[in-house]
Every structure is written in structure tokens, then in C-alpha cells.
Chains A and B, each alone.
Chain A
Amino acid sequence: MSAPQPLRPNDYKTALKPVWCPGCGDFGVVATVYRALAQLRLPPEKVAILSGIGCSSRLPGYVAAYGFNGVHGRALPVATGLKASRPDLTVLVAGGDGDGVSIGAGHFQHAARRNVDVTYLLMDNQIYGLTKGQAAPTTPSGDKTKSTLYGNPDPPVDPCELALASGATFVARSFSSDMKGQVEILCAAIAHEGFAVVDVISPCVTFRGDDQYDFWKPKLRSLPADHDPSDRMAALRYCREREVLTTGILYREARPGLVARQQVTRAAAGYDPAQPPSVAALVHSFYP
């Protein structure tokens, strides 16, 4: 048998051609997923990518790994179920801002609280793309959309701030066409134990305007070199930014993930993985 060839980004491509609009930020995101998986040398059969519903949620179809394109807003509970049953898999979740912080907002908080061992790629375009341009909870106040003709009356939510407030142990922000920065962040997120949130600004050129790249690019800043990612308060300072968009790993904390904590619970319950009780012994324990 010949030695396994190192995997290249293209090895993670599927035969499906993305149906995103030309210029959609999501093309950049999927390209960084290919590169990060190749860089981490993760074999496709050891990776599962799950999503909800939305333009962005099509991503699993374009990555050669286990995939799930599922229920709007529910990707995180489905991923929690998968990770609980197959802790050996690297689990990624991808989806839109509507999916994640509107209909799925409750799940987002609890995945963070439980520190579920998954990487969450929140593809943030500040609009509902698939349903053709209604306001999302991330749409800035005052913006006109299909459902806010007179300007959005509501303030937006910042997914990074929400993640920090909910106890996420890894919180980062990136921009979809910043290949290098996004791959670095994604590799660190996948290697992280517990819930890793990456809010990737991924422009919707169709419903947010084809000037989106001109709008964002001058705003992009890297985190200052002296930023301390273990300082939650410092991380919060890079939330709700308006004039600039700071990218990088805002916050990182070491805390046991769901899988590790389940092992602790099992040990407390007297379970020894070296000597799992046989079914026969279990049945017999019910007889006097």
C-alpha cells in the first residue's frame, strides 16, 4: 500500500457547482474551508459539516465531508446531537445570520453555554438572502430592505457580542475575501476545544448592494498586536463597531467542552470505559 497523499484544498471540493450569485461572499468562505481542512490534514470522513437553511447554508453541499443541510435555525441542536454520538468527528456548522441569531438565537446561546465542541461559521451578510432581501437581526438601523421600506426601525445585534455574553470560549471575526486571515482563524477555531464562533462578514451583493466590497474594505482593521484574547472586556470593545471592522480572534478561553464534561459525568456515575458493563450484567442487576 502506498503512503496516503497529503490532501490539497481541491480534494475537498464536490462535483456540485455553487449556485450563489456571482460576487457572493460565500464563495470566499467555502474556499477557506477547503484550505483550512487541508492545512489541518483532516480526512473528509472525519469531518461533518452541518447547516440550517439559507443561501449560506448550502455550503455543506460543496464540501467533500459528511454533510447535513437541515432545518432553518436548528443546525446547532442537530450538531450537538451528532457530536454527542460521534465525538471522534470534527464538526463544523455553517449558516446565515438569520439562521443563527434570529430563529436559532436560543440555540446559539445554549451551544455557547454548553461549550459544545463544534466550530460555528456564522456567515453574516446582514440580510435574509434566500428569501430575497428582508431585514435580518443584524441589519443596521435605518437600512431599507424589502421588509423595512421606511428604514429598519430596530437596532442590530452583534453576533460576537452575543457569543461573548453567552459564554462562548472562542470568538473571532473575519471577512470572507480575506483568505489568509480567515484560514488562520478557521484552523484555530477547529483546533479549539468547545464552542468556537467565527462571525464571517460575507457580503450579499444581490440584496445589500454590489458596492458591498467598496463599503467594507476600507473599514477592515486587524486586532492590535497587544490585544489580550483572554480578556473578555477587551474583546467586547471590538463589538458593535460602526466606522471600522476589526478582524481576528477576539476571545479565547480554555474550558472543558461538552464531550469532556460528559466523561466526567460518566466517571461520577461509576462508569469505567476500560470495563463497560455487559448487557447481561445490567439485566441481572434487576434480579434479586
Chain B
Amino acid sequence: MAKKLMKGCEAIGEAAVQAGCRLFFGYPITPQNEIPEYLSARLPQVGGTFVQAESEVAASNMLYGASGAGCRCLTSSSSPGISLMMEGVSYIAASELPVVIVNIMRGGPGLGGILPSQSDYLQATKGGGHGDYRCLVLAPSTVQEAADLVMDAFDLADKYRNPVLVLGDGLIGQMMEPVEFKRSTRLEDLPAKSWATTGCKGRERNIINSLYLDPEVLEAHNWKLVRKYEEMARTECRHEFWSPHGDADVLFVAYGSVARIAKTAIDALAEKGVKAALFRPITLFPFPGDALEKAAARVKHVLVSELSTGQMLEDVRFHLGKHRPVSFYGRVGGVIMTPDELVAEALKLAGKAG
């Protein structure tokens, strides 16, 4: 398929269609309205269904119903709406159903603002709703990668029977870049879902459930979920290591849009005689901790940068251990750091601040 210039949100919508998603449930919220708007026009063209729910609570429960029936389905929202969806997400994770959720994050807490942010990292990666569960979390840093990861998200959701969250920020959602849809899933090629509630004629009944009143049974269920997350950690960790100027002194750790800013800063630093590299987690859960450890072993300084007050920072510190100093530079509230700010931070660390 040829490259097309598309807004991030629209590319996410088209990627879902190409991945075989035929159902979307959502509620408008800035800055991601282009996802539901695109799909409200696009899904009927492919025999799909778009429902504007009465609220995000409703949308997440519509997703629960549709995924139980074995359909590829999607919802999208932005931070305050994602909080409301947590009821459905917890039940979906408990019932082991595959759904894809896109969060185009905006500044919070509360109503916050509508400008880009990465302040839902902890909510996304540590469960978000009640109970012991995790979503698999993918973090794109370009429009192309957003499209690719949305397609992967549907496969991963099916593979693990688990909610997959695509965590972007307002920059990714709103900017336009050339994008190519690298594959197109034919619904008939998707593996059958033997667990789905599709009518039990000729087989045992399938039951979708998250209620286990017997504590021993619930405990076993919880450990079963944990084994699934451990399997994800073994097989699904993804990251990018970018070190175009040779052995680096400073390692930036950043994801999403911030990683792009860090790349610009790294090139500028090279001109000032400071070698820097980037470690960019692509899966935020599972976190690519082993790879980070390796990358960090070769540098003098680690600098985490986020559009938050330091959320991924907790995971970085956990993986590098408390004896390893880790610096942090964050901007919040919808303010985005410039490459110059990151350059200045790195120069300070390298002892070359003017």
C-alpha cells in the first residue's frame, strides 16, 4: 500500500480497520476525537459498527460484551475518559478478553488540560483499575509506529486474551506524517476463538466470568494471570536503542514523543562534543528492563525525560538499582520540553555546562 499523509488519530483508526477491527465504542474527548470520527465514517463501509456510547463507563462495558463474543473491538479516549473506563478494563482483564484501548494522554490530574502529556504511565502500566492485573502497553513515537503498533495490539490481545493499551500523547494523535499500512488482516484468516460465547451447539458452554467466590479458586486465577504477564515479559519486551555517535556518556531514557525530542538533542550534543544515546521503551508493560540494564552499563549518566513528574522514572530506578544515580527532566501540564532544554540537562551531567 502506498504511503499516505495522515493525522495520527486517523492512522490509528485505519490501522484498526486493517487489523480486522469491526467494532468501535467510545465517547468524544479532546484530543482524540478524530479516532471515533474517522471510524464513524469508515466502519460502516466495511460492514462494521460504530457506537457513540453515553459515557466512557458504558463504552468500556460495550467492549466487554463485544469481546466476549469474540469480535476484534476498539475504544479510544483521553486521560479523564480512560479513568472512567477502568471499571470495564478490570473486568475484561479478569475475564481474559482481548480488547484494544487507545489513550491519547492529556495533562491532568482532574480535568487538567487538553495538551500533550505522559502522566498516565503509572495508571497504564500498573493495572489502572482495581485488582491484581496488567494491560500490555505499547508506546508509539511516530504516526507510522502508531499504525504498526495498533495492528500488533490486536494480535497481542488475541494471543494473551488480555487488554492491550496503546499509549500515545496529544502530539502523536494530532500531528500529520506519511504512513503506510503494512498488512491487511482478512477476518477469515484469524484463528478461531474457542473460548468465545458464539453459541454452544455441539460443544461445552463457554462462560465469561470474573466472579470467584471460593478464595482458593480466585487465588489460582490470580496466579494464572501472573504467569501470563511473566510470559509477556519473556517474549514481548520491545525497545529501540539509538546510538548514532558511538560509545555514549549520557543515556537518555524516553518514550513516545519525548524520544523524538531526545534524538534531536543527541545530534545537537554531538556537535558540542558530548556523546549521547537513547533508550526508548516501546513496550511499557512489560518494561524492557534487562535491555535497559545492558544499555546503561556502558554509560556514565542516565537521564530520564518524560512529560510527567517522573512516572517511568520509577521503573528505570527499579531496574537499575538504587546505587545507580538516575537523573530526571520532566515538563508537565501540556508544556513540552525543547531539544535545547535536554541538551542543557545533558551538558550539566557531562560537566560541560557553560
A234, B14: Cα distance in complex, Å: 50
Interface flags for B86-127 (1: CB within 8 Å of A; 0: not) read 000000000000000000000000110000000000000000
Name the CB-closest residue of B to A157. B54
Cβ of B36 under 8 Å from chain A: yes
CA of A105 to CA of B54, assembled, Å: 8
Whether A137 and B44, one on each chain, are in contact in the complex, defined by CB atoms closer than 8 angstroms, is no
B residues 37-74 touching A (CB-CB < 8 Å):
37, 40-41, 44, 50, 52, 54-56
- Out of B40, B56, B110, which one reaches A148, CB within 8 Å? B40
Task: Report whether B54 and A102 are in contact in the complex, using a CB–CB cutoff of 8 Å.
Answer: yes
Residue on B nearest A71 in the bound complex, by CB = B111
Interface centre among B30, B50, B52, B55 (most CB of A within 10 A): B52
Q: A residues 104-135 with Cβ under 8 Å of B?
A: 105, 128, 130-132, 134-135
Evaluate contact between A135 and B30: CB separation under 8 angstroms: no
Residues of B within 8 A of A105 (CB): 54
Q: Is B334 an interface residue (CB 8 A)?
A: no
A95: interface (CB < 8 Å)? no
B40 touches A147 (CB 8 A): yes
> Does A146 lie at the interface of the complex (its beta carbon under 8 Å from any beta carbon of B)?
yes
Q: Is B295 an interface residue (CB 8 A)?
A: no
* Those of B1-51 within 8 Å (CB) of chain A: 27-30, 33, 36-37, 40-41, 44, 50
Q: Does B80 count as interface, using CB distance less than 8 angstroms?
A: yes
A72 to B35, CA, bound (A): 20
Residues of A within 8 A of B36 (CB): 134, 147
Quick one: given A72-B80, A102-B55, are A147 and B37 in contact (CB under 8 Å)? yes
Q: Is A159 part of the binding interface, using a Cβ–Cβ cutoff of 8 Å?
A: no
Report B230-268 CB contacts with A as 1/0, cut-off 8 Å: 000000000000000000000000000000000000000
Chain A residues touching B, range: 20 to 34
Chain A residues, CB < 8 A from B55: 73, 102-103
Instruction: For the complex, give the distance between the alpha carbons of A73 and B54 in Å.
Output: 10
Instruction: Check B54–A134 contact: CB distance below 8 A.
Output: no
Interchain CA distance A146-B55 in the complex, whole Å: 17
B-contact 0/1 string along A175-196, CB 8 Å cutoff: 0000000000000000000000
Cβ contacts under 8 Å, A71 to chain B: 110-111
Residues of B within 8 A of A102 (CB): 27, 54-55
A70 to B111 Cα, complex, angstroms? 8
Collect the chain A residues with CB atoms within 8 Å of residue B28's CB.
128, 131, 134, 147
Interface centre among A103, A105, A135 (most CB of B within 10 A): A103
CB distance from A112 to the nearest CB of B (A): 17
**Given B37, B44, B110, which contacts A134 in the complex, CB threshold below 8 Å?**
B37
| Minimum distance in angstroms from A158 CB to a CB of chain B | 16
Residues in B whose Cβ lies below 8 Å from that of A287: none
Given A103-B27, A103-B54, A128-B28, A146 and B111 touching (CB < 8 A)?
no
User: A73-106 interface mask toward B, CB cutoff 8 Å, 1 = contact, 0 = none?
Assistant: 1000000000000000000000000000011010
Is residue A149 contacting chain B, with contact meaning CB distance below 8 A?
A: yes
Q: Hey, which chain B residues are within 8 Å of A149, CB to CB? A: 40-41
Additional pairs, 11, CB under 8 Å, beyond known A131-B33, A134-B28, A146-B33: A71-B110, A73-B55, A102-B27, A102-B54, A102-B55, A105-B54, A130-B30, A135-B52, A146-B37, A147-B36, A147-B40
- 24 intermolecular pairs with C-beta atoms under 8 Å apart: A70-B111, A71-B110, A71-B111, A102-B27, A102-B54, A103-B27, A130-B30, A131-B28, A131-B29, A131-B30, A132-B30, A134-B33, A134-B52, A135-B52, A146-B33, A146-B37, A146-B40, A147-B28, A147-B36, A147-B40, A147-B52, A148-B40, A149-B40, A150-B44
